[in-house]
C-alpha cells in the first residue's frame, strides 16, 4: 500500500521510512489558516485541510497529512522570527512543561476522512541564558516551532517527556501505523 504524504517535512519522511511505510511526497499547497484556537483543534483542522487538498488531486489514493505545534499555557509558539524571539521562547520554556500537539488526517481510497491528534508533555531543564544562546548560535532553532528540535542538538535542553517521542518530532508514528493498517 503506497501512501501520499501531504507534507514536505524531512522528519515525517524519516519516520515513515523507519516504519517501512511506502509513500510518495506531494505537499499540500494551501494557506495554513484556521478559525480554531485550541492547539489540538488547530492541528486537526490544518491536517484535515492539507489532506483534503491533496486528496482532491489524487482521488482513490490514501493520503496522510499532519500538522504539529508547540503550545505553552495554551498559546501556540510558532517558528521564531529572529534570534531574540528564539531566546524569549526558550527562556519562557526553561524549567517548565509545555505540550506538543500533532494533528493527523488519513483519507482512505474511498474518501473516508479520519482525523485525530496526539499530545506529548515536554519538560525542559532550567537552562541558563548562556546555554540557550549557545544553542541559538547553532542555527538549529530558527526553523523549528517553539525554537527547538528534540531530534537534534535541542535534545540537550529537554529533561523528559511524557507521551510519544515521535509526536514531538512531528508524527505519532505508532498510532499512524495502527490507523493505516487497522492493527
- pLDDT for 1: 76
Distance CA 158, CA 148 (A): 10
- pLDDT for 183: 60
* 136 close to 94: Cβ distance less than 8 angstroms: no
Distance CA 102, CA 67 (A): 5
Distance CA 24, CA 160 (A): 33
Place of cell 508514528: 173
Other C-beta atoms closer than 10 Å to the C-beta of 73 total 9
Burial class (CB in 10 A: 0-12, 13-18, 19+), 165: middle
Q: Say which residues have a Cβ less than 8 Å from residue 114's Cβ, sequence separation at least 6.
A: 105, 106, 107, 108, 179
Structure confidence by residue, pLDDT tens digits, 31-48: 999 999 999 999 999 999
**Residues in the chain with pLDDT < 70?**
183
Angle 41-47-107 from CA coordinates, rounded to 5°: 120
- Assign a CATH topology to domain 3-181: Maf protein (3.90.950)
pTM above 0.85, yes or no: yes
> Is residue 22 flagged as an active site residue?
no
Distance CA 94, CA 76 (A): 16
Pick the catalytic residue from 45, 67, 73, 126. 67
Mapped onto helix, strand or coil, the DSSP state of residue 87 is helix
Amino acid at each position: 500500500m503506497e501512501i501520499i504524504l501531504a507534507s514536505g517535512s524531512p522528519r515525517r519522511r524519516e519516520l515513515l521510512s523507519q516504519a517501512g511505510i511506502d509513500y510518495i511526497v506531494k505537499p499540500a499547497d494551501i494557506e495554513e489558516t484556521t478559525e480554531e484556537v485550541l492547539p489540538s483543534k488547530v492541528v486537526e483542522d490544518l491536517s484535515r485541510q492539507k489532506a483534503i487538498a491533496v486528496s482532491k488531486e489524487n482521488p482513490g489514493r490514501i493520503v496522510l497529512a499532519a500538522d504539529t505545534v508547540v503550545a505553552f499555557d495554551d498559546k501556540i509558539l510558532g517558528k521564531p522570527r529572529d534570534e531574540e524571539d528564539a531566546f524569549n521562547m526558550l527562556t519562557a520554556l526553561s524549567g517548565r512543561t509545555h505540550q506538543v500537539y500533532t494533528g493527523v488526517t488519513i483519507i482512505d481510497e474511498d474518501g473516508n476522512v479520519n482525523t485525530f491528534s496526539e499530545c506529548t508533555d515536554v519538560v525542559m531543564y532550567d537552562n541558563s541564558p548562556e546555554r540557550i544562546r549557545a544553542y541559538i548560535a547553532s542555527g538549529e532553532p530558527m526553523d523549528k516551532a517553539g525554537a527547538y528540535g528534540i531530534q537534534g542538538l535541542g535534545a540537550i535542553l529537554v529533561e523528559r517527556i511524557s507521551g510519544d517521542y515521535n509526536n514531538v518530532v512531528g508524527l505519532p508514528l505508532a498510532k499512524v501505523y495502527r490507523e493505516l493498517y487497522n492493527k
